[in-house]
Amino acid sequence: MIGILVLFTQSNAVICSSGTSRGVRNPVAQLLDSGNLVVRDEDDLIPENFLWQSFDHPDSTFLLGMKTGLVTKGLYVCFSSWKSINDPCQGNFTFEVDINGLQMYLKQNSVAKAQSGDGIEFGLAYLRAFDLWEVVETGRDPPTLRVDPTVAQIKHHSKECAKKYKALSCLHQVVSNVIFVRIIACETTKEAWDKLKEKFHGSDK
Ligand SMILES: *[C@@H]1O[C@H](CO)[C@@H](O)[C@H](O)[C@H]1NC(C)=O
């Protein structure tokens, strides 16, 4: 058995797979309490031996225990947008540590579009790339679910609801400590963003 994790559509078409693996006796997938989805041999609990783990392929959510940059085993981990709304494979945007310097870069098709030294502009580019800008701009909750929603509608709705927390946590990650303490009390991303604008531009930008 090889232990490759594959995501199928309802009609059994492959959306994406975790790629190459190695032979193990009995591969299992497990969602750990940390939020890390791992594929491992049933009897092997040693993290270094995991066949695959979602923490090596983050998108827009940074959880405690995740690492970015050059992590173990010569593995370079960066945050990446999805290929499309239904396809979680790596998309065109990445958020990554520059190995040579101490900056974070937002790249589109490997070309740097913004860097952490750019401060507020960087945060803006980041939120746009990860499809989170709308919640910041409007500050609105998504429309409530209609009566008798389908499973797809429920999923879509909870994803939309989660966006405001994602956006706020993204903003927290990209700003400096000095700025962070100013916006930590803000409950919505819009509130935090308005505060940043006030501080840096004095007006809309
Ligand atoms: C990603 O970039 C490629 C190459 O520039 C382009 O063809 C494709 O449409 C882009 N995908 C999205 C979702 O923007």
pLDDT in tens, 98-138: 766 567 888 999 998 887 766 666 777 778 877 888 877 77
Dist. CA 118 → ligand 1 center (Å): 25
Using DSSP's 3-state secondary structure scheme, residue 90 falls into strand
Q: Are 122 and 128 in contact (CB under 8 A)?
A: no
- Give the distance, in angstroms, between the CA of residue 105 and the centroid of all CA atoms in the same chain: 15
Q: State how far the Cα of 26 lies from the Cα of 112, in Å rounded to an integer.
A: 42
DSSP state, residue 36: -
Task: Give the per-residue pLDDT at 167.
Answer: 83
Task: Give the bridge partners for 118, in sequence order.
Answer: none
> Closest residue (by CA) to atom 14 of ligand 1?
92
| Percentage of residues of the chain with pLDDT beyond 90 | 10
From 87, 90, 92, 108, the mutation candidate for ligand 1 (largest count of ligand atoms within 8 A of CB) is 92
Q: State how far the Cα of 114 lies from the Cα of 136, in Å rounded to an integer.
A: 19
- Ligand 1 atom closest to the CA of 109, numbered from 1: 2
Least confident of 35-39, 58-62, 146-150: 58-62
- Ligand 1 atom closest to the CA of 92, numbered from 1: 1
State if pTM tops 0.85. no
Residues 71, 85, 169, 182: is their CA dihedral positive or negative?
Answer: positive
Query: Residue 205 pLDDT more than 60?
Result: no
> Closest residue (by CA) to atom 12 of ligand 1?
92
> Closest residue (by CA) to atom 6 of ligand 1?
92
Q: Band of the pLDDT at 32, cuts 50, 70, 90?
A: very high
Task: Give the per-residue pLDDT at 136.
Answer: 78
